[in-house]
Amino acid sequence: MSNYHIKHLEEYFQVYRKSVRNPENFWEEVAEEHFLWRKRWDNVLSWDFKKPEVKWFEGAELNITENCIDRHLRTRGDKTAILFEPNNPDEPAQHISYQQLYERVNQMANVLKSQGIEKGDRVCIYLPMIPELAIALLACARIGAIHSVVFAGFSSKALATRINDASCKMLITSDGSYRGSKTLDLKAIVDGALESCESIETVLVAERTKNKIHMKEGRDLWLQPLLDDAEVKCSAEPMKAEDPLFILYTSGSTGRPKGMVHTTAGYMVYTAYTFKNIFQYRETDVYWCTADIGWITGHSYIVYGPLANGATTVMFEGVPSYPDFSRFWEIVEKHQITHLYTAPTAIRALAKENIEYVERHDLSSLKVLGSVGEPINEEAWHWYNDNIGKKQSPIVDTWWQTETGGIMISPIPFVTPTKPTYATLPFIGIQPALMDEEGKEIKGNQVDGRLCIKFPWPSMARTIWGDHDRYRDTYFSAYENKYFTGDGAMRDEVGYYRITGRVDDVIIVSGHNLGTAPIEDAINEHPAVAESAIVGFPHDVKGNALYGYVMLKEFGETRNQDNLRKEINQQITDKVGPIAKLDKIQFVNGLPKTRSGKIMRRILRKIASKDTSNLGDTSTLLNPEVVQEIMDNAL
Ligand code: WTA
């Protein structure tokens, strides 16, 4: 197991040096020793950040599901692969063994085939956190179909945009979903979306809530009867290393969501290797990542990374507040969870509640804690460390992105000394750089700048579906020969990194990336609205909340402003989803603009954050007079 499982700091430095001095050799060794290949690669890496084009393990053939399932059957057939904890604590948990997972994935794969899905076809998956979700991903991968999971909290419009962008042929959904005390009618959202999606031929519907739903003749099919008739064996399609495995959408600062394309071999090698090391996963551990599989964290660290290591991975259907705020801690005790990987927004929400919710439960099974999705503030870090980890379980603050596929900067537990709010050191193989605004790299320590990555890593996204130019423009044009992350970061005196947040127009609300453009578009579609601008402002649970500045068409609009606010938020709920609702809406007579007509968000951001002492020079604006007025009426 050379290099596969790092155990102390000296070893980290040694392996790190080796991985950056000769990345090809390093990753070749990892790939050779720990995975199942149908055919070996001819070339480990070829890359050109100008085009940009990156290829890992070219010439190789494999199937990721053979690595995540088949190869474990001999030694781990009876071991729990997926431990499903339902929304309702009285409903029994399900332990799906590797053998059962094998059978269920193969049955689902056979159903996909029988419905005409072939290698390369796109399958959209819009499901709640039930086992069928993980099984659907793996079934696509089994036959070489490209999955495109859309988080089941998105609206009809958002779902339709994503289905159309990738021309998905099939949609897999359910009759409904449970979220705490609520039951959501997912199928109605799907029906709404499909009014404007021509590419979908078949909709497979999993039964979960027994909601009364409409099944459209000739299009909609119940999944279970098809599964019952399907064979439990389906041979795995040999895939080329660079064949797409999935598309996953992320918000951009402008325009449509970006369908990030991840390919097969590099993604598998990197997610598996990071999972093993960053969680120091051992054979009998029970690992729980609380993310939804609708996001990259769920793809890489609920499904592919853990299963590639033969781990037991928990899928939780519910929410931290149901039936009460002790649910997380109850689950930890019930399943003797060893690893808890969650988001700062959840930690902050739970920290606000009575500490008795925590104290009622025995958390002594925990060994490693993780944080992901946004910067973790000092207070939340200490609360997590003191009350959940009892100062015994290191916190891995893992920085990464949908685009990076896997964790990029993170401590290794029991290896890297942690420091509150710091993601600490680059992971093996990762070469970060901080850049100044002129495009020069800032060397040395105790500096801050824009975070870039200088060298390819195996799990990086290869393109944006259908728009390679946008991929190049977004990530490879700001700094020559570097991948630009969109984040700002500082490096302290010992070389630890702290991520300071986005430097573009993406706003992270409760750990969800939201682009300003689609929200503004939704607002602007309201008949009374002329123009709008969205910015983030600090919020003690969500991290950031949204503040909207809205200019109405009719100056002095007589309608009740509160009603208008409700209508605007409803518009956002319909077009984007409830996570994008605005906390504050201020009606304005004008938006501050540069002479070229660009909205000066920097000023709006400061006003929303009540930080108006230093607004900078506003005299160069096209309409400086609006600034004072906006300040006077700020909420
Ligand atoms: C932010 C989530 C600080 C960052 C895996 C990044 C973080 C964006 C951290 C990607 C962290 C993620 N500390 N910020 N540990 N992790 N971020 O694509 O701004 O949903 O660019 O991927 O989240 O969000 P995404």
Domain residue spans of the chain: 9-489, 506-633
Quote the pLDDT of residue 289. Answer: 98
Residue nearest to atom 15 of ligand 1 (CA): 399
Ligand 1 center to 374 CA (angstroms): 5
Quick check: CB of 347 below 6 Å from ligand 1?
no
For residue 308, the model assigns a pLDDT of 98
Higher-confidence residue: 391 or 515? 391
Instruction: Calculate how far, in angstroms, residue 502's C-alpha sits from the geometric centre of ligand 1.
Output: 9
Residue nearest to atom 12 of ligand 1 (CA): 373
Question: Into which CATH architecture does domain 9-489 fall?
Answer: 3-Layer(aba) Sandwich (3.40)
Choice from 348, 399, 424 to test ligand 1 binding pocket (greatest atom count within 8 A of CB):
399
- Evaluate: CB of 292 within 6 angstroms of ligand 1: no
- Is the distance from the beta carbon of residue 402 to the nearest atom of ligand 1 less than 6 Å? yes
Separation of CA 250 and ligand 1 centre (Å) = 11
CA distance 268 to 35: 9
Q: Which of 500, 387, 372 is nearest to 447 (CA)?
A: 500
Atom of ligand 1 nearest to the CA of 407: 5
Gap from CA of 180 to ligand 1 centroid (Å): 26
pLDDT(488) > 50:
yes
Where residue 555 falls among pLDDT bands split at 50, 70, 90? low
Q: Which atom of ligand 1 is nearest to the CA of 401?
A: 22
Six-digit token string for 571: 């518009």
The reported pLDDT for the residue numbered 254 is 66
Q: Measured from the CB, is residue 373 less than 6 Å from ligand 1?
A: yes
Distance 448 CA to ligand 1 centre (A): 18
Please give the biggest Cα pair distance in the chain. 73
353-385 tens-digit pLDDT: 999 999 999 999 999 999 999 989 999 999 999
499 in contact with ligand 1, CB cutoff 6 A: yes
Strands lying side by side in the sheet with 497-502: 432-435, 447-453, 483-491, 497-502
* Residue 3 pLDDT greater than 80, yes or no: no
pLDDT of 502: 87
pLDDT digits (tens, 9 = 90+) for 257-304: 899 999 999 999 999 999 999 999 999 999 999 999 999 999 999 999
Residue nearest to atom 13 of ligand 1 (CA): 375
The CA 460 to ligand 1 mean position distance, Å, reads 15
Is 614 buried (19+), middle (13-18) or exposed (0-12) by CB count in 10 A?
exposed
Pocket test for ligand 1, best of 487, 502, 514, 542 (most atoms within 8 A of CB): 487
Q: Does the C-beta of 375 come closer than 6 Å to ligand 1?
A: yes
The verdict on the CB of residue 155 being under 6 Å from ligand 1 is no
**Dihedral through CA 371, CA 173, CA 310, CA 456, nearest 10?**
-60
State in Å: Cα 507 to ligand 1 middle.
Answer: 11
Chain center to CA of 177? 20
Q: How confident is the model at residue 1 (pLDDT cuts 50, 70, 90)?
A: very low
H-assigned helices in 356-440? 356-359, 378-383
pLDDT for position 250: 92
Q: Say what the pLDDT of residue 620 is.
A: 74
Give tens-digit pLDDT for 557-590: 667 888 999 999 999 999 889 999 999 999 999 9
The neighbouring-strand residues paired with 173 are: 205
List the residue whose alpha carbon is closest to atom 25 of ligand 1. Answer: 401
pLDDT for residue 253 is more than 70? no
Closest residue CA from atom 24 of ligand 1: 401
Give 508 Cα–ligand 1 centroid separation in angstroms. Answer: 8
Tell how far the Cα of 344 is from the centroid of ligand 1, in angstroms. 11
pLDDT computed for residue 2 by the predictor = 46
pLDDT at 621 over 60: yes
Edge-to-edge strands, sheet with 122-125: 220-222, 202-206, 170-174, 122-125, 146-149, 244-250, 258-263, 463-464
Overall average pLDDT of the 220-231 stretch = 98
9-489 with 506-633: one CATH topology?
Answer: no
Other Cβ atoms less than 10 A from the Cβ of 195: the count is: 8
- ω into 344 cis (within 30 of 0): no
- Superfamily of domain 506-633 in the CATH hierarchy: ANL, C-terminal domain (3.30.300.30)
Q: What is the pLDDT of residues 593-618, one digit of tens each?
A: 877 777 888 899 999 999 888 887 77
pLDDT at 240: 98
Has residue 554 got a pLDDT over 80?
no
Q: Which residues contact 64 (CB under 8 A, 6 or more apart)?
A: 141, 239, 245, 264, 267, 268, 304, 308
d(C-alpha 456, C-alpha 44), whole Å: 12
For the segment 469-482, what is each residue's pLDDT rounded down to a tens digit? 999 999 999 999 99
Average pLDDT, the chain: 94
Mean pLDDT of 110-136: 98
pLDDT above 90 for 43? yes
Q: Is 289 in the pocket of ligand 1 (CB under 6 A)?
A: no
Give the count of beta carbons closer than 10 Å to the beta carbon of residue 291: 22
Percentage of the chain beyond pLDDT 70 is 98
pLDDT value of residue 437: 85
Residue nearest to atom 22 of ligand 1 (CA): 401
Does residue 95 surpass a pLDDT of 50? yes
The first and second tokens of residue 515, run together, are 């682009």
Higher pLDDT, 241 or 253: 241
C-alpha dihedral, 498 to 504 to 510 to 513, nearest 10°: -120
Residue 135 pairs in a beta bridge with: none
Q: Does ligand 1 have an atom closer than 6 angstroms to the CB of 380?
A: no
Residues 90 and 64: their CA atoms lie apart, in Å, by 35
Both tokens of 395, joined, read: 């916190």
Beta bridge mates, 584: 547
Q: Which of 274, 508, 579 to mutate to test the pocket of ligand 1 (most atoms within 8 A of CB)?
A: 508
Mean pLDDT over 534-541 rounds to 93
Out of 251, 502, 512, 513, give the residue to mutate to test ligand 1, the one with the largest number of ligand atoms within 8 Å of its CB: 513
**Do residues 132 and 162 make contact, with C-beta atoms less than 8 angstroms apart?**
no
Determine what percent of the chain is predicted with pLDDT higher than 90.
Answer: 86
Backbone angles phi, psi at 64, to 5 degrees: -65, -30
The response to whether residue 249 sits with its C-beta less than 6 Å from ligand 1 reads: no
pLDDT in tens, 58-71: 999 999 999 999 99
